[in-house]
Structure 1
Amino acid sequence: ISNGTHTKYYSNTTRFSHVKEIAEGERKKSKKTSNSFEFTSYWADGNNKPITDLIDFTRTFFARHTILAILARYCVFTSENLLMVMRPYQIAATERILSRIENSHNREKVGTIEAGGYIWHTTGSGKTLTSFKTAQLACGLPYIDKVLFVVDRKDLDYQTMKEYDRFQKGAANSNASTRILAGQLQRSDARIIITTIQKLDRFVSMNKSHEIYKKHVVIIFDECHRSQFGDMHIQIVKSFKNYHLFGFTGTPIFAANAGSSGNPLMRTTEQAFGDKLHTYTIVDAINDGNVLPFRIDYIDTVRMRDGVVDINVHAIDTERAMADEGRIREVVRYILEHFDQKTKRNSFYSLEGQRVSGFNSILAVSSIPVAKMYYKILKEQLAESGRELKVATIFSYNANEADPEDLLPDENFDTARLDKSSRDFLEEAIADYNALFGTNFDTSADKFQSYYKDLSMRMKKREVDLLVVVNMFLTGFDATTLNTLWVDKNLRLHGLIQAFSRTNRILNSVKTFGNIVCFRNLEEATDKAIALFGNREAGGIVLLKSYQDYYAGYDEKGKHHPGYIELIEKLRTDFPPGVQIVGEDSQKDFIRLFGAILRLRNILTAFDDFEGNKIPTERDFQDYQSRYIDLHQSFTKEQNAEKEKINDDLVFEMELIKQIEVNIDYILRLVERYRKSNSKDRREIRVNIAKAVDSSIRLRSKKELIEGFVDRMTVSGNVEEDWKQFVSEQKEKELNSLIETEKLKPEKTQKFVENALRDGILRTTGTDIDGILPPISRFTITGERARIKDGVINKLLVFFEKYFGAA
C-alpha cells in the first residue's frame, strides 16, 4: 500500500479480515488490531531505518532474494488459518542468528561463546514470533539435532507454548516436569522443546552424563537479563558440549547496570551470551508505532530536608517515612480521586465482545508490609466512598525483595516461606478475590499458581481495576488494557524500563501513551534508564512533552507545533459558534482542525493542570462536536468507531469524540434540574438537553426517547427510577410492534434482542438472525427472503442503537 511517499506492506489476512469486519456490520467499537491500517509495516534496512519511498521500497523489497525469503521463510500460516508476515527487525534478527549458527559451525567454534550472541529487541516488539521462526528455521538445518527455548518462569513456558501452538500446532513440545523434559531430550522427533531454566538446571544436576550433551543443539534464552547470570547458566553451558547459545532481551545488562553481586565473569549480557547481533530499541518501536510513549507525573508526597541528596545514606529513614500510614492514606486518596481521569473511565470500547469502560492499572510498592497497608487502606476508602472498584493483590516470598540495585527480583511462586502475618493476609486477599469472581484459590503451592494465572487473565480482560504488587507482574506481563502504573518504590535502569513497559501496548485511539504516576522522585533514574536503553536524545521520543508544551505550543527542530490554546483560537476565528460552515473545502478544514483539537485534548486530560483550564465553554464545545458529528454523518453513510478514512484525505476521530461525550447520567441530572425549575429556567434547560444530545453520537439515536421522557415528566417521583421504567415500557412496546409488523418469531426475537443489548453487539450474520425471520423460501426468483432480511436487520439496528445503554 503506497501513496508514493509512504509505503507499507501487510499480509492478505490483514486486508481480508478488515473487509470481513466491515461487511459483517457488527455494531461494536473497533480497536486497533492486526486487521487495521495501524498494524501494517514499514520496510526497513538492517539498522531499522524505514524505506518509505515507493521506488526504494520496490528496489529492495521485490529484489529476487528478498521477496522469495519473505514468502518462503518469514511468513507464518497460523493454526487459525491466518497469514502473518514478519516485520523487518524480526527478519533481520532471525537471519543474524542463522548466519551466526552457520558461520560458527563452519569455523568449528560450536560450544564456545563465539557460536552465539544476543538480540536486543525492546519489550512489546514481538520477540515470541521472532524466536519461533528462529527455532523453526534452525531445527531445519541438517546438522542441528534440537532447539531448546528456555524461559525463566513457569507461567511463561505455558504462555510461550500457547503462542507457538497458535503459530503452528504441534511444532513445539512443552513439559510439566523434569522427567518429561528428559524423555523429550531423548526423543529424536521432539525437535523444538520449550522449558524453564529451573527444569533444565534440575535435569543437568540429576544427569551428569547424558547423550544430549554430545548432540548439536541451539539453546535460546528468553528475557536473558537476570536469572541466567548465575550458577544455573554456568552449569548448563558446562554440560552441553556442542551448543549455540542465544539470548533475547528487551533490557540488556551492561556494565552500567550490572551490579556487583554474582560471578564477575557473568555480569553483563555480552559476557554470558556473546556479541550483540541485532538491536531494536524502545526508540525504534515508538518511532514505528509498535509501542506507545510514556507520560510521567511526579507527585511529591514527602518533603526531604534541604541538603539531603544521597538517597542511599538516608535510605532507611526515607523508607520509614515512605511507609508511614498517614502518607499512604494520602497516596490512596490521590489514586482514588484521579483514578477515572488517569484510566479514562468515561471512554467505552468493545473487548472480546464485552463493552468495557476505560483501562486498568497496577500499583507497584516497595515491600510486602507496604503492599498489605495499601490494600487495606484502599478497601477502607472505597467502602467509605461507596465506589465499586475491583482491587486485588499478589506477592510471594523473595529473599532479595529490597534489592539495593532495584533490578526487580525474579518472580517466583513461593508462599510457604512468607511470615505468618503476610501469608494470612494474602489468604484474606485471595478470599476477597474468590468472593468477587466465584473462584476457589488459596496460598497453597498449586492453587497459588492457578490464582496467578486467573488474575493474569482477568487483568487482560479488564475485569480487575487495580492490582497491588511488589515485584510480580512488573516483568513479562502484557495487557493491552493496562494504561496506568502507580509507582511507590525505587526503580532504576533495567527494572524501571521493564515496569514502565507494562503500560505501553497499543489498543485503540484513546490509549495514546502509557501513564506513569510516581509517588517518589524517579526523574533522574528515568532519564538515565532511557539514555541507557535508547540514547541520550531518546527522552523526547520516549516521554511525552510537558503540559505547557501541549497547552501553549512549542518549537522543535525549526518547526512550530501549535498548542491547544492556539488551535481553539483558530477554531473560534475561522468557525465562530452558531455560524454555518458552507462549502466542502471549509468543512474539510474544520474536520482537520477539530480532529487536531480532539487529539490534543485526549492527551491533556491526563494532566491534573488541565482541570479548570478547559476551553471553550462546555456549551460551545458541544456545539462544535454536534457540527463535527453532522459532517461525519454527511460524509459517510456508515459510522465506524475507529479512525475512519473519508475521500482518502480526511480522518474522523470518532473514537475520541466518544470518550468525551456526555452520557445518560448527565442528561438525567439536567432532567432533574428541569423538573425542579420554574417555567423561565425550563426553556434554557430544555435547550441545554437538546444541545447535549446532539453533541453525542450515542445519544442522538436516543433523542426521541429522551424528549418523550421529558414531555411526560411529573413534578414528583425519582428521575432515575422513572427513566428506567419509561425505557422498559417503550422498549417492550416498540419490540412487540416490530415483531408484529415484520411477522417475526416472538420468543426467539426477544431472546436475540436481549442477548444483543447484554453483549453490546447486534450480530447481523449467522443462524441466530435467520432463526427469528418468518418462514420464507430461500429459493425465490425475486430474492424476497434477502430483501425481507435486510429490512428486518435495518429496523433492528435502529432499535439497538436506541435502547443499548439507555438504562
Structure 2
Amino acid sequence: GVFDKERFIDLLAHFQAYEVKEGAAKAKKLAGYHQFHAVRKAVQHTIRAANHDGDRKAGVIWHTQGSGKSFTMALYASRLERAPELGNPTVVVVTDRNDLDDQLFDTFQEHPDLFVSKPEPAEDRADLREKLKRVSGGIVFTTMQRFALLDDEKEYPQLTDRRNVIVIADEAHRTQYGFGSKVSVNKDGAKLASGGYAQHLRNALPFATFIGFTGTPVETKDRNTRAVFGDEIDTYDLAQAVADNATVPIYYTARLPQLRFDDELKAVLDETVDDLLVEQDVPDQENTKSRWSRLEAVAGAPERLQRVATDIVEHFEARREAMGGGKAMVVAMSRRVCVALHDAIGKLRPEWVSGDDKQGLIKVVMTGSAGDPEEFRPHIRKKSQLEELARQFKKPETTFSLAIVRDMWLTGFDAPCLHTLYVDKPMRGHGLMQAIARVNRVFGEKPGGLVVDYLGIGAELKAALAAYSQGDRQRAGIDQDAAVRELLRALEAIVDLLN
C-alpha cells in the first residue's frame, strides 16, 4: 500500500511538483499510482540497460492518452538526474513534430522544481550538435528532423561515446523512428537524404540507452518498436483510466450528409477512401497525391460542405446547451476545406466570426507558407499567435469555442473543456486514436467525449481498437445510439419498479 514507509517517503520526496504558469504556482501535482510505479520500474530498467553489459533497450511505457503521460515523462527524467548509478546523465527527449516538441517542453518547464538542470530546446541542427557534445548532465529537447545531415555530409558524426545518455522517444511506435534511409539521385550523383533520422541519431549517440513512451498500444506484429526500445515496462490502458476517473469514456455517432453524387464521383469515392486512410499527413507518393486531391475535391464540394456546416452549427448549439458550454474541434482533410468550412459556418452564424483573435467563437488553426492563396491569409498566424490561440482555447471561459484544424492540435494537445470532435478527414490507427483522445479529458461534470463522424471512420475506429483489450474496446467509440437505447431500458426498469 501507499503507506509503506519507503514507498510513502519516495512519493512525497520525488513525485510531487508545483505547476508554474505565467510566473505563479497554479497547482500542486502528486503522481497517480500508475505514474509512480511506471517511473520506478522505468528507472530500474534504464539502469540495467545502460550498464556496460546492458543492451541499451530500456523498454516501452504505454499509458493511454489523457492519463498524464507527459507528466510521467517529466517525473522519469527527474529521477534519472538523481540516479547515482547513471552518474549525472544527459537526457534527450525526442519527438517527430515541432508542435509536440513545444507541448512536451512546456510541460517540463511548468514543473521547474523537479529538475536539477533547466530543460533546454535545441534551436537548430548546429545547436543540437553542440548540446549533445557536453561532458555530462542536461535535458535536451529536439525533433527527429534536427538529426538531418548537413549539405557536405554522407553520414552523421559521432557526438559522444558516453553510455549515460538516455534517449526518451515520444510516441515510440511511429514509422519516423525506423532506420530506412532514402537516397536522392540527380545530375550530381546520389546522396543520402533525410529518411534515416533514427540511424543518424544512433550514429550520433552510439552508446545511448533508448526508452519509448506511447499513448496507444504497441501491436503484437510491430517488431520494429520492440527491436529498438525493448519490451513493455508498464501499461495503463483506457479501461483502467476511465475506472480511475483519470479520463472519461468516448462516445461515437455517425452523421453522414446524404448527397447525390453522379457515377463518376461515386467511383472516385469507392476507389480512394480505402487507399487514402492516413495516420497524420497526406501520403507522399505522386500517384496517391493525385487520388487524394480527387477525394478532397469531392469531400470539399460546396454543396456537401454546406450540409456539413449546417449540421455542425445545429449540433454544436444543442451540444453546448446540453453540456452547459464547453468547446469542440472540427478535423478537415485539407487547409482549403478548413477555410471553406469556416466561411460556410460564418455565413450561417456571422456573429461567430471575428478578425480579432481575442474575439469570435470560431477560428481556423493551421500553418501557412509564402505561396498560399489570398483567402488563406486571415488564418495564417505566427508561432506566438498560435500559442496564444491555444491558451485561449484551453480556457473554458473564453469566447473561442470551435476550432477547425487539419492536423494541428490532434496529438499532445490538452484542453479538458473540449467535449466534441467533428471528423471529416480519413484517419486510421494510432493517428485516429490520438485524435479522438482530445475529448477524453476529465473536466467538471463532463460525462464523456463525443466523436461525430461525417466521413465514415467507424470501421477504422473498430480496426484501431483491435490492438486494445476487451475492456478498452468497451470504453472507446461507444455507439451513442446504443447508449441511448440502454438508458431507455434502464429507465423503463426503474419506472416498472416504482409502479
Residue identity matched to 1:90: Q
Q: Aligned pair 1:221/2:175, yes or no?
A: no
RMSD after superposition: 3.5
CA distance in 2 between partners of 1:204 and 1:220 (Å):
27
Deviation per residue, 1:100-150 (Å, 9 max, x gap): 22223446125x4xx322111111111122112211222223334311122
CA distance in 2 between partners of 1:392 and 1:147 (Å):
37
Paired residue for 2:435, among 499, 508, 532?
499
Structure 1 residues 65, 201: CA separation in 2 closer, same or farther (over 3 Å shift)?
A: farther
Q: Aligned pair 1:322/2:299, yes or no?
A: yes
CA distance in 1 between partners of 2:214 and 2:462 (Å):
20
Q: How far 1:371 sits from its partner (Å)?
A: 2.0
CA distance in 2 between partners of 1:277 and 1:329 (Å):
48
Residue in 2 aligned with 1:194? 141
Q: How far 1:487 sits from its partner (Å)?
A: 0.9
Query: In terms of Rg, which structure is larger?
Result: 1
Residue in 2 aligned with 1:520? 455
Paired residue for 1:372, among 327, 336, 339?
339
Structure 1 residues 165, 203: CA separation in 2 closer, same or farther (over 3 Å shift)?
A: farther
Q: How far 1:63 sits from its partner (Å)?
A: 3.4
Residue identity matched to 2:490: G
Deviation per residue, 1:639-692 (Å, 9 max, x gap): xxxxxxxxxxxxxxxxxxxxxxxxxxxxxxxxxxxxxxxxxxxxxxxxxxxxxx
Percent identity among equivalent residues? 24
Give the 5 Å matches for 1:332-347: 332-344=309-321, 347=324
CA distance in 2 between partners of 1:375 and 1:81 (Å):
34
Q: Aligned pair 1:63/2:63, yes or no?
A: no
Residue in 1 aligned with 2:330? 363
Q: How far 1:299 sits from its partner (Å)?
A: 0.9
**SS in structure 2 opposite 1:468?**
strand
Q: Quick check: 2:273–2:295 contact (8 Å CA) kept in 1?
A: no
CA distance in 2 between partners of 1:339 and 1:74 (Å):
40
CA distance in 1 between partners of 2:150 and 2:59 (Å):
24
Give the 5 Å matches for 1:368-447: 368-383=335-350, 390-396=361-367, 415-416=369-370, 419-421=371-373, 424-430=374-380, 441=381, 447=382
Deviation per residue, 1:187-214 (Å, 9 max, x gap): 5574322333333556999895555343
Give the 5 Å matches for 1:35-50: none
Residue in 1 aligned with 2:415? 479
**SS in structure 1 opposite 2:177?**
coil
Residue identity matched to 1:166: E
CA distance in 2 between partners of 1:268 and 1:88 (Å):
29
Q: Quick check: 2:61–2:233 contact (8 Å CA) kept in 1?
A: yes
Q: Quick check: 1:550–1:563 contact (8 Å CA) kept in 2?
A: no
Residue in 2 aligned with 1:236? 201
Q: Quick check: 1:172–1:193 contact (8 Å CA) kept in 2?
A: no
Paired residue for 2:474, among 530, 535, 540?
540
Residue in 2 aligned with 1:612? none
**SS in structure 2 opposite 1:102?**
helix
CA distance in 2 between partners of 1:182 and 1:116 (Å):
24
Residue identity matched to 1:563: A
Q: Quick check: 1:217–1:242 contact (8 Å CA) kept in 2?
A: yes
CA distance in 2 between partners of 1:319 and 1:82 (Å):
44
Q: Quick check: 1:172–1:191 contact (8 Å CA) kept in 2?
A: yes
Residue identity matched to 2:204: S
Residue identity matched to 2:228: A
CA distance in 2 between partners of 1:66 and 1:385 (Å):
52
**Which protein has greater RCO, CA pairs closer than 8 Å, 6+ apart?**
2
Q: How far 1:86 sits from its partner (Å)?
A: 1.6
Residue in 1 aligned with 2:118? 172
Q: How far 1:309 sits from its partner (Å)?
A: 7.1
Give the 5 Å matches for 1:76-87: 76=17, 80=25, 83-87=28-32
Q: Aligned pair 1:151/2:99, yes or no?
A: no
For structure 1, the residue ranges without an aligned partner over 5 or more in a row are 1-59, 259-266, 348-357, 397-413, 431-440, 442-446, 555-561, 574-807
TM-score of the aligned structures, taking structure 2 as reference length: 0.78
Deviation per residue, 1:709-758 (Å, 9 max, x gap): xxxxxxxxxxxxxxxxxxxxxxxxxxxxxxxxxxxxxxxxxxxxxxxxxx
After superposing the two structures, state which structure 1 stretch, 82-91 or 374-383, moved more: 82-91
Residue identity matched to 2:392: R
Residue in 1 aligned with 2:288? none
Structure 1 residues 235, 255: CA separation in 2 closer, same or farther (over 3 Å shift)?
A: farther
**SS in structure 2 opposite 1:61?**
coil
Q: Quick check: 1:553–1:566 contact (8 Å CA) kept in 2?
A: no
CA distance in 2 between partners of 1:209 and 1:328 (Å):
51
Residue identity matched to 1:173: P
Residue identity matched to 1:254: E
Give the 5 Å matches for 1:465-614: 465-509=401-445, 511-532=446-467, 534-544=468-478, 546-547=480-481, 549-550=483-484, 553=487, 563-567=490-494
Structure 1 residues 505, 168: CA separation in 2 closer, same or farther (over 3 Å shift)?
A: same
Residue identity matched to 1:84: K
Residue identity matched to 1:283: A
Residue in 2 aligned with 1:679? none
Give the 5 Å matches for 1:633-782: none
Q: Aligned pair 1:125/2:67, yes or no?
A: yes
CA distance in 1 between partners of 2:91 and 2:275 (Å):
49
Q: Quick check: 1:345–1:359 contact (8 Å CA) kept in 2?
A: no
Residue identity matched to 1:428: P
Q: How far 1:70 sits from its partner (Å)?
A: 2.6
Give the 5 Å matches for 1:99-110: 99-106=44-51, 108-110=53-55
Paired residue for 1:275, among 231, 248, 271?
231
CA distance in 2 between partners of 1:204 and 1:67 (Å):
53
CA distance in 2 between partners of 1:86 and 1:205 (Å):
47
CA distance in 1 between partners of 2:74 and 2:351 (Å):
50
Structure 1 residues 546, 215: CA separation in 2 closer, same or farther (over 3 Å shift)?
A: closer
Structure 1 residues 268, 204: CA separation in 2 closer, same or farther (over 3 Å shift)?
A: farther
Residue identity matched to 1:328: L
Residue in 1 aligned with 2:212? 247
Q: Quick check: 1:496–1:529 contact (8 Å CA) kept in 2?
A: yes
Residue identity matched to 2:96: D
**SS in structure 1 opposite 2:239?**
helix
CA distance in 2 between partners of 1:240 and 1:302 (Å):
55
**SS in structure 2 opposite 1:99?**
helix
Q: How far 1:565 sits from its partner (Å)?
A: 4.5
Q: How far 1:522 sits from its partner (Å)?
A: 1.7
Residue identity matched to 1:331: V
Q: Quick check: 1:161–1:172 contact (8 Å CA) kept in 2?
A: no
Structure 1 residues 249, 385: CA separation in 2 closer, same or farther (over 3 Å shift)?
A: closer
Q: Quick check: 1:172–1:194 contact (8 Å CA) kept in 2?
A: no
Q: Quick check: 2:334–2:406 contact (8 Å CA) kept in 1?
A: yes
Q: How far 1:370 sits from its partner (Å)?
A: 2.0
Paired residue for 2:33, among 88, 96, 99?
88
**SS in structure 2 opposite 1:344?**
helix
**SS in structure 2 opposite 1:362?**
strand
| Larger fraction in helix | 1
Residue identity matched to 1:291: T
After superposing the two structures, state which structure 1 stretch, 201-210 or 141-150, moved more: 201-210
Q: Quick check: 2:172–2:214 contact (8 Å CA) kept in 1?
A: yes
For structure 2, the residue ranges without an aligned partner over 5 or more in a row are 179-194, 277-290
Q: Quick check: 2:62–2:236 contact (8 Å CA) kept in 1?
A: yes
Q: Quick check: 1:552–1:566 contact (8 Å CA) kept in 2?
A: no
Q: Quick check: 1:253–1:268 contact (8 Å CA) kept in 2?
A: no
Structure 1 residues 538, 101: CA separation in 2 closer, same or farther (over 3 Å shift)?
A: closer
CA distance in 2 between partners of 1:150 and 1:471 (Å):
19
**SS in structure 2 opposite 1:542?**
coil
